[in-house]
Amino acid sequence: MANWFFSGLFSRVVTTRYPASPEIAPGTTPGRPVGQQANSELAASAAAAMCPVGAIGAHGRDTTVTLSQCVHCQACRQQPGIAWQNDYQWAAAIPPSDSHRSQPVPRAFKKSLHIRIVDGGSCDSVLNEIKQLGKPFYNMHKLGFFITPSPRHADVLMLTGPVTRHMEAALKATYDAMPHPKWVIAVGSCAISGCVFGSDLMTALHSPPIVPIDVVVPGCPPPPLAILHGLMILAGREGELPPEPAIPVVPADPELRKVTSPEMSP
Amino acid sequence: MIDSNLSATPSALPALAAALGNSVVWQAPADPLHAPIAAADNFVTIVLSCEPENLPLVVRTLTEDADFRFAAIIPCEEGSSFIVAYWFYRSAGHLRVKLRVRVDAAAPTVPSISAIAHAADWHERQAEDLFGLIFSSHPKLGDFVLHEQWREGVNPMRRQFDHAPLATDADPPMPWSPETILETPGAFVMPIGPVYSDYAESAQFFLETVGEDVVRMIPRFFYKYRAVEKLAEGQSIAQVLLKVERFSGTSAVAHAICFSQAVEQITAVDPPPRAQAIRLLLAELERIRHHLSVLSDVCHSTGMIVPSAQVDILEEQMLRLSCRIGGHRYLYGLVIPGGLRRNIEDDQLQLLADEVQRLRSQAAELFSQLQFTSSFLDRFEGVGITPLEKTKNLGLVGPVARASNLAGDLRIAMPYGYYHHIPAFPEALETEGDGYARIRVLFHEIDSSAEIIRATALSIPPGEHALTALTLAGGEALGAVEAPNGAAFHGVNLAPSGTVRRLALITPSFTNWHGFHLAAENFAFQDFPIMMATFGLSMAESDR
Ligand code: SF4
């Protein structure tokens, strides 16, 4: 006879302490590339040239990374001129100056936001990462974030995927069905920039966007902690976040590149 | 480690030649009776061509007499004609058949084969929608991939298709509604989706019902159609690899391997043994994680909180392990044509072996507990049965097929890469074909994948992890890999400059959604989420 009561009781508590304190367990985040000063201009432009989606820019000896375009292909992980930072607090709010940005979340909503997810053609792994938020390790409910079964009860629309033509109408209808005030959080690089699926054919990028976006969480896919960070920012609860990046920047080591990767593009 | 003798058997060819007679022309090998076959070949690809009118006869001979399984229909536009390639495979003799049919692009009509090979049904509907090919005597063509926003007669996969003036802008969309069959008084249709109350992917289901019981389920897919195959055209291998990995992120490794395999066949290279072995470990790691994720959905669908939480913990531990081993929670960016992007050191492999063994015993413990939880079993036993005969007819693959006792795991039936070098493992077969059988298959596969990792991780051959360069070449090949959901095939056609001319993604979710209606017939409302969960399919993988 299975005794679920005891097996539940004897499982230790696994839930992360983030945002009260940084999460330092290995494997919670893939990290992200960040620009740094390269040894030479040549090294900086080499770094820019190797990114398959053009997320890396070179300005003299400095490199920059546009995270909302990065697809986490790991090609630049050991590239001189790029540092790989093992943090996860990389969500960002769209500046209030942007005309599409909604008003900040009022005080009354801060500790209880109800979320409706719209899958605009995502790859499934980003949905899986969002799913982790409701599971024991991340448990967003304790922070006051809930998934709601109806758009009528939703405060936040969580958008994933590049928004295919077939999902446009459903996305609009969902947004329209939500009562005011409402906010939108775009999760994953493809929801922000279209990423490798952005094209005029099926996933046209709209300007202005179909729904106004307030907070973006780049990454392909962003780990659960980054999405949690995005929700905290959306709720205007930056004050509760741990101040430092959890794990310091790892400088790229040119010696790690023992064998050059195969030349693939003509 | 056993050394299996898996080279192809040439003796199968004369028998096949006799069966097919002169309804086909042999292209490769040109002379089937005296075909030289290198002993090292893992499989033989036979290229045949036939006239459109002979097609049904040839397909019948292949599938019914010669025991071939249908794999794919891959049309490709060449100048003023279409080459429609029909792919079949057979475990015995390790044979693959590519049957080419040429039709004029101005009047592209071929006979439908879906009455003979039911698995071809969706392939034909898809080709009709995307290419404008007509499959004569097919019972149901039109409105499949492209929804009502598209004017009829617009075929985005045609080469001359110009997507600047959009099909949607010209005239208002035709209203669409499902075709219902119930005429009983009080019958109604309950729509579900495409936006769900939880984390489900976009798709729509119409449940035809008279009240308590659902008589029939009408699915509407392709809400997530991103036209990956079209976007790939004209792009470099590196660019296409990004898409192949990301169109279905939860099976990224399998699809990256499948695509790489096809490119390696075309460029006639073999990745170094170390790369092949590590690819196998990554694929098995992904399989374990994927199955745990499906089992988590299964437990959630019954609302059993404690077992759900226990599976969830295992799943997140596997995600973290993947990230520690491969730098990415879904193992993106590791597999590239020619090998691996970077080496995984032996101490990492040791970590992998240890952690997987730990998780394996926890999963086994969980399984034994679930087997004695009657409130759990009651929800799955006898629910959503896929009978063997129909499963076979529709050519279903993966855990869903194995739960109905239909063998065909490509790791065993058509071993590729390092699967030649690992100890033989049994295929996880069950007979009932119900929800509970599917759950058992998933648990057994978790266990066998863990065993494969245990037996392999610590004896990985040393050496390079990638070829230093890939010589570009043009050509065409079919990659075949057992993805977590079942057999995946990637048809890749490269131009001599190395850009992709045509990419065809045949995914196990596409194959198996075609058979979902077998399970979803005459059921109770509350069983629907349970059936969805035990099928464990991905919409992203199916829609592309
Ligand atoms: S990880 Fe890949 S996509 Fe992201 S910046 Fe580096 S090279 Fe570009």
- Pocket lined around ligand 1, Cβ cut-off 6 Å: A 33, 51, 53, 55-56, 65, 70-76
More confident residue, B439 or B187: B439
Residue A248 has pLDDT above 50, yes or no: no
Q: What percent of chain B has pLDDT over 70?
A: 93
Is B482 a residue whose pLDDT tops 80? yes
Give the model's pLDDT for residue A224.
Answer: 92
Residue of the nearest CA to atom 3 in ligand 1? Answer: A70
* Average pLDDT score over residue span B121-150: 80
* pLDDT at residue B37 in the model: 56
For chain A, give the secondary structure using H, E and C: CCCHHHHHHHCCCCCCCCCCCCCCCCCCCCCEEEECECCCHHHHHHHHHHCCCCCEEEECCEEEECCCCCCCCCCCCCCCCEEEECCCCCCEECCCCCCCCCCCCCHHHCCCEEEEEEECCCCCHHHHHHHHHCCCCCCHHHHCEEECCCHHHCCEEEEECCCCHHHHHHHHHHHHHCCCCCEEEEECHHHHHCHHHCCCCCCCCCCCCCCCCCEEECCCCCCHHHHHHHHHHHCCCHHHCCCCCCCCEECCCHHHCCCCCCCCCC
Q: What are phi and psi of B529, to 5 degrees?
A: -60, -30
Mean pLDDT score, A8-21: 78
Window 490-509 of B: residues touching A by CB (8 A cutoff) are 497-499
Question: Residue range A15-35: average pLDDT?
Answer: 83
**Of the ranges A171-180, A202-211, B139-148, which one carries the lowest mean pLDDT score?**
A202-211
Tens digits of residue pLDDT in A42-73: 888 888 888 888 888 888 888 888 888 888 88
User: Which whole number is the average pLDDT over B265-292?
Assistant: 90
Q: d(Cα B420, Cα B434) in Å, to the nearest integer? A: 32
Start-end of CATH 3.30.460.80 domains in chain B = 4-157
Examine the pLDDT at B310 and tell me if it is beyond 70.
yes
Q: Compare all CA atoms of chain B with the CA of A15 and give the residue at the minimum distance.
A: B313
Mean pLDDT of chain B: 82
Angle between helical axes of A125-133 and B305-326 (0-180°, round to 10)? 130
Mean pLDDT of B333-361: 87
CATH 1.10.645.10 maps onto chain B at: 231-543
Cβ–Cβ contact A170 with B under 8 A: yes
Residues 48-107 (A) with a CB less than 8 A from some CB of B: 52-53, 71-75, 77-78
Q: Which amino acid is at B111?
A: P
Tens digit of each residue's pLDDT (9 = 90 or more) over A148-176: 888 888 889 998 888 888 888 888 888 88
Q: Is the pLDDT of residue B8 over 70?
A: no
pLDDT value of residue B288: 93
The token duo for A136 is: 């024991």
User: Which has the higher per-residue pLDDT, B336 or A11?
Assistant: B336
Q: Range with the lowest mean pLDDT among A2-6, B64-68, B225-229, B505-509?
A: A2-6
pLDDT of residue B481 exceeding 80: yes
Q: A264 falls in which pLDDT band (50, 70, 90)?
A: very low
Sheet holding A82-85, edge to edge: A32-35, A82-85, A249-250
In percent, the amount of chain A with pLDDT more than 90 equals: 8
Closest CA to ligand 1's atom 6: A76
- The class (CATH top level) of B231-543 is mainly alpha
Determine the residue of chain B that is closest to A84 in CA distance.
B327
pLDDT band at B6 (very low <50, low <70, confident <90, very high): very low
Of B25, B33, B70, residue with least CA distance to B49: B25
Determine the pLDDT at residue B291. 93
Categorize the per-residue pLDDT at B285 as very low, low, confident or very high, splitting at 50, 70 and 90.
very high
pLDDT computed for residue B184 by the predictor: 76
Answer whether residue A195 shows pLDDT above 70. Answer: yes
> What dotted CATH number matches B4-157?
3.30.460.80
Query: Residue A245 pLDDT more than 80?
Result: no
- Cα separation, B168 vs B151, in Å, equals 7
| Ranges in chain A annotated CATH 3.30.70 | 32-85
What is the pTM (predicted TM-score) of this model?
A: 0.88
Nearest by Cα to B119 from B387, B393, B388: B393
- Alpha helices (H) in B327-471, listed in sequence order: 346-370, 374-380, 388-393, 398-402, 410-413, 435-457
% of chain A residues with pLDDT over 70 = 84
Confidence of residue B41 (pLDDT cuts 50, 70, 90): low
The boundaries of every CATH 3.40.50.12280 domain in chain A are 92-264
- What pLDDT, in 10s, does the model give residues B210-219? 877 888 888 8
CA of A35 to the centre of ligand 1 (A): 11
Domain A92-264 = CATH 2.50.20.10:
no
- Encoding tokens for residue A153? 């009860």
SS3 label, residue B539: helix
Task: Give me the residue from B246, B319, B499 closest to A71, CB to CB.
Answer: B246
Distance CA B503, CA B245 (A): 13
- Give the pLDDT score at B11: 65
At residue B290, the pLDDT reads 93
**B439 to chain A, minimum CA–CA distance in Å?**
17
Q: Does B225 touch chain A (CB under 8 A)?
A: yes
Provide the CATH topology of domain A32-85. Alpha-Beta Plaits (3.30.70)
Q: What is the pLDDT of residue A249?
A: 43
Distances (CA, A) of B494 to A222, B234, B262, B491, B503: 33, 9, 10, 10, 9
- Beta carbons of A162 and B226 less than 8 Å apart: yes
Mean pLDDT rounded to a whole number for chain A: 79
pLDDT of residue A70: 87
Model pLDDT, residue A266:
30
Three-state DSSP class for residue B452 = helix
Predicted pLDDT of residue B5: 38
In chain B, the residue whose alpha carbon lies closest to the alpha carbon of A14 is: B313
Which of chain A's residues have a Cβ under 8 Å away from the Cβ of B249? 123-126, 128, 221
Averaged pLDDT, B158-187: 65
